[in-house]
Homo-oligomer: A and B are copies of this chain.
């Protein structure tokens, strides 16, 4: 399957730190809107234009998002049943605050009229800005230059800004600038989710009121059913003389500047933007909060905001940057992935990271396991304070997960939702949703990795242990010792990561990860008991943790059933995987893919075919339990049955291929992941980022080529240098240290850039890095 994409050519010019759109082409616009997304984990703005075009379907999709601002509706099922998720959760398109309209002597600037001498945009990943340069001649022959710079602040959650400068080139005349907020917005959920047969339909962001006072203009709205209040506000500053005229109506607030402009002179409008919601402020303080944000921004000025942005990114790139000497294309791709990741997750513990970040409506803004299994590792090693907040979202939604476990007849512990914004289950197809119980273990794994990488025992004591215990409790009750399986601890009726095999018994990945989950719980409880007895006592009291519980978990750990086929030396993906009819992948015409789009689920489910890495993922995450030979045998087998119809697959195959010495194979898989979005391999980047793949690329570099593992809290590497590269380098934060790993023809080189000396393993050899 992965061969299909080998002929795809780079779309953007190869530049180390920039993504450039050299000229405006309508047919590329929808895609570029995603590539030029700016966001900060709270505010998300698609890379649409200041003119605020309402483009026909397929040419673009306006999108502004605020993490945690969502709508709910009743899910309607063809046939419903007890315990099915009852409410949708959909991240909403919020008011578009980017709009600045320009008129030149009565002619309105538009990319679709007049003559474009130039229309370039540049995403600068060091500056964290989207810049635009336009030279436009109006239908009547007047030429202007427009330069704008947009940023969504990485240092101020509530801040975004646009600097918009216009210069008449060949005329003196009247220029009108209208800066506005357009609150007349709707979601395109259905269009972006072909399998979802519900809303929100129509207008669900309802007008409340608005306030326009001098430079401050704001619109207050409310989501229809969830009743979250939101104020979208702007403050417009100009560096020239012009009358300011504010107008407003039900859905719009706008500020108009009209002035006589002189040829060759540049006129600059600076627009400060904020969104504040009742998730952070009381309803009655929303306007004040917005006003304060904007006053502060205006006082400090755009330059200061841009400087802070640059500084933040300098620090980020200082440790996060991956350099590949010998492949600029790849370097660019990796950087954009990291930039996009940095922009995406919520940092307030109340919100997390949807599968598409804040870049589009895809997957309704839902948080899946991708967040913990793919994205969190990146942050664990590059921005751990963000990783912590991602995990805090799970901690803060533990009550909803406990309630869900009760609905599933499990009396203790928690069951995290497969898809969610607010912590409740929103999956309307339980076979490939709720049944993916492995998410419990995935979250536990992420907690464990975070604590391992950071040494943040305080987090473990205050939050992590509670997650580990509650998830472990779920497993011991959900699973069962089955006589027919030699009294082993089995977990039946689950769906593993591979959504082509649903409701199976003993999914190997799930069982191994659940066992690991329970181990972490045993260890965490033992650790707290010994090292932080007060914390242990508090936890035990809070969640009614009995002294004998760890022994229950230990019994399950010691007896976990792991499906294994002795004859073939294969770990079957689940109890029945080897008993299924094999899908003839080679002879399936291209038109029959993706399989689930072209076949009834029953057809796919009863075949031996994997959508994505499942057991192969276990071989990466839990490589310590496998010999290299075992891994080889199983990799060989699973490669022949996998179709990689998920952006979560190739990166994992790449990592495991490296671990077993299949370096060419690893490189091949890596190449399909590293520029997946930037080169639009799946032809769907218009709908938004594939965050998991972006993080998967990083994992392929660090865990794959770098061969990093953290077993028993010990950092080890087994670096490999792909043939086509001269060298590569990445840096990692590890328990307060900054470590550089550089790999070139002469081998691996480790350098401690910050922090205390450290002993690591490199290809099995202990090395002390000082």
Which positions in A face B, CB cutoff 8 Å? 75-85, 195-198, 407-409, 427-431, 433-435, 480, 482, 484-485, 490, 492-493, 502-503, 505, 575-576, 578-581, 596-603, 605-606
Contacts and interface: CB of A to CB of B under 8 A. Distances in A.
Nearest to A576: B505
Best-buried of A79, A85, A484, A605 by chain B (most CB within 10 Å) = A79
Copies per complex? 2
Given A79-B196, A197-B79, A493-B606, A430 B579 contact: no
A195 B409 CA distance: 20
A430 B505 contact: no
Contacts of A85: 78
A82 B597 contact: yes
Given A579-B490, A579-B575, A603 B79 contact: no
Given A434-B602, A503-B503, A197 B482 contact: no
Nearest to A597: B82
A606 B492 contact: yes
A579 B502 contact: no
A577 to B, nearest CB: 9
A484 B76 contact: no
Given A409-B599, A503-B503, A78 B84 contact: yes
A76 B73 CA distance: 14
15 contacts: A76-B76, A76-B78, A76-B197, A77-B77, A79-B196, A80-B197, A407-B600, A408-B603, A431-B431, A434-B602, A482-B580, A482-B581, A484-B578, A505-B579, A575-B576
Given A77-B77, A435-B602, 15 more contacts: A76-B77, A76-B198, A77-B78, A77-B197, A81-B601, A83-B602, A409-B603, A431-B431, A482-B580, A484-B578, A485-B579, A492-B576, A492-B579, A492-B580, A503-B602
Contact of A83 (B196, B492, B599): B599
Residue of A576, A601, A602 with highest tally of chain B CB at under 10 A: A602
Contacts of A601: 81-83, 430
A248 B76 CA distance: 40
Contacts of A597: 82
A435 B492 CA distance: 20
Contacts of A434: 600, 602
A231 to B, nearest CB: 33
A15 to B, nearest CB: 41
A274 B505 CA distance: 56
Nearest to A602: B493
A606 B581 CA distance: 23
Contacts of A505: 576, 579-580, 606
A433 B600 CA distance: 13
Contacts of A433: 79
Given A493-B606, A578-B484, A80 B408 contact: no
Contacts of A484: 578-579
Contacts of A602: 83, 408, 430, 434-435, 493, 503
A751 to B, nearest CB: 50
A460 to B, nearest CB: 31
Contacts of A428: 77-79
Nearest to A577: B484
Contacts of A576: 492, 505, 575-576
Q: Which 10 A-B pairs have the closest CB atoms?
A: A78-B428, A493-B606, A83-B600, A480-B581, A79-B429, A492-B606, A79-B428, A484-B578, A409-B603, A75-B78
Secondary structure call for the A interface: loop
A484 B695 CA distance: 38
A483 B668 CA distance: 32
Contacts of A599: 82-83, 409
A407 B603 CA distance: 10
Contacts of A84: 78, 600
Contacts of A407: 600
Contacts of A480: 581
A672 B132 CA distance: 80
A56 to B, nearest CB: 25
A195 B492 contact: no
Contacts of A490: 579, 581
B80 A600 contact: no
Nearest to A479: B581
A597 B431 CA distance: 18
Contacts of A76: 76-78, 197-198
Contacts of A493: 602, 605-606
A768 to B, nearest CB: 51
Contacts of A430: 600-602
A81 B195 contact: yes
Contacts of A75: 78
Contacts of A435: 602
A78 B430 CA distance: 10
Nearest to A600: B83
Contacts of A579: 482, 484-485, 490, 492, 505, 575
A491 to B, nearest CB: 9
A556 to B, nearest CB: 13
A87 to B, nearest CB: 11
A611 to B, nearest CB: 13
B605 A503 contact: yes
A478 to B, nearest CB: 9
B429 A600 contact: no
A75 B80 CA distance: 12
A137 to B, nearest CB: 49
A82 B194 CA distance: 10
Nearest to A74: B197
Nearest to A431: B431
Contacts of A575: 576, 579
Nearest to A599: B409
A665 B409 CA distance: 33
A78 B601 CA distance: 15
A602 B407 CA distance: 11
A78 B409 contact: no
A79 B430 CA distance: 10
A191 B59 CA distance: 45
A690 B575 CA distance: 38
Q: Which of A81, A84, A197, A598 has the most CB of B within 10 A?
A: A81
A78 to B, nearest CB: 3
